[in-house]
Amino acid sequence: MFKVKILQLFDSFVLNTVGPYYRRLGKSLLTQGNDMLGSEASDDRLVQCLRQVEAKGHKPQIGDAIFTAPNSVMVGNVILKQNSSIWYGATLRADNNSITVGKNSLIQDNVYIKATKTITVGNNSLVGPNSHLQGCTIGDDAFIGMGSTIKEGAVVQGIVAAGSLVPEGTEVKQGEVWAGSPAKYLRDITPQELQILREYKQELLELAQVHGEETSKNFRQVVIDTDERLIKQQRGNEEEALQKIAELNFPLEYEDEEFIEQRVFMKQQPPMFMDSENLKSQQDQYEQDLSQFSENMQKYSEDYQIYEEAKKYFEQNPQAKANQFAPKSEVPDDKPWSRKY
C-alpha cells in the first residue's frame, strides 16, 4: 500500500510539475531559435483536419458518409448523405454555394468540385478520378469517367466517357453516352454496360466501407490489430498443419493434436548446434516424427493420389464408368496405427 502511494505521488509530480516545466522550456527554446534565424525562421504548427473546414458560418456535414479520406478537403456548406464517400485527395469547395452528394455516391481520387453555383450530385452516382466539376448538376445513377470536366450549368444524367469536356449548359440525358472534347452524343448505353457499371459501383461502395473502417481507427485499435496479426503469424504453421490434415480427412484425437503442436513448435526453434549433422537433423523434426509411421503414411499418400487422379478424370469425362480406379494397397490391420483408427 505504501509503495502504491509513492507511485501515485510520483505520477502527480510528473504530471503537474515536470511536464509543464519541459513544455515551457521547449516553447522558450523555439522562440529563441526563431529569433536567431530571423527571416529564415519557421513557426511549425499543427494543421486542423481538412475534412471539416468552416467557411462563412457553414461547416461540412459529413456524419452520414461511409468514408471520407484523411487527406480529402471539404470547405464550407458541404452535405454528404448516407453511404456517400469522398476518396483520397478530393477537394470540395463550397465557400459561396452548397455542394450536396447523394446516397451511395462516390467522389473518387483527386476530384475537384467548386460551387460557383449550387452543385448537386444525385444518388448512386460516380465521379471518376481527376475530374473537375464546376457549378453543374449530376443526376441519379450518373457516371463521370476519369479526367472529365463538367462546366457550369451543365446537367449530366447519363454517361460521360473518360477525358471528356461537357460545355456550359449541355444536357446529357439518362441512358445516353457522351464523349469527346467538347463532348457530343455518341450512342445509348446497352443493358450489359449498365449492369457492369452497377456492379462496379457496388464493388467501390464495399471497398469504401473497408477504407472507412481502417481510417477511423484510433491509435489503440491499430496497436491491437498489429498484435493480433503478429499472433496469427506465429501460430500460422501450426494452424496450417492441422488444416491440411483435416482436408485429408485424417482422423485426429486430442493426443494427436498435441503431438502436432509440439512438433511444429520444435520445428520453429533454431538448432542448438550449427554443425552439419545436427543442423540436418534439426531442420525438419515434424517430418522425422512422421517417419515412424512411414509405411502407413506412404500407402495413405498413394491412395489419396489415386483419389485425386480419379476425381480429375471423372471431371474431364463425366460419361466414364466407375471402378476404373482402385486403391493400390490397403493399410495392414496388424499395425498399431491401423488398430487405433
Do 8 and 115 share a domain, yes or no? no
- Neighbour count for residue 334 (Cβ, 10 Å): 6
Assess if residue 147 is contained within a domain. Answer: yes
Q: Are 268 and 237 in contact (CB under 8 A)?
A: yes
Of 194, 214, 239, the residue at which a domain comes to its end is 194
Count of structural domains, the chain: 3
Do 182 and 274 share a domain, yes or no? no
Do 87 and 7 share a domain, yes or no? no
Please give the residue range of the domain that contains residue 151. Answer: 67-194
Residue 67 has phi, psi (to 5 degrees) of -160, 125
Q: Are 69 and 48 in contact (CB under 8 A)?
A: no
Of 162, 194, 226, the residue at which a domain comes to its end is 194
Do 106 and 27 share a domain, yes or no? no
Do 92 and 170 share a domain, yes or no? yes
Q: Is the pTM of this model over 0.75?
A: no
Mean pLDDT of 129-150: 95
pLDDT classification of 212: cutoffs 50, 70, 90? very high
Cα 166 from chain centroid (whole Å): 34
Do 188 and 82 share a domain, yes or no? yes
How do residues 118-129 score in pLDDT, each as one tens digit? 999 999 999 999
Mean pLDDT of 126-146: 95
Do 73 and 189 share a domain, yes or no? yes
Q: Give yes or no for residue 294 having a pLDDT over 60.
A: no
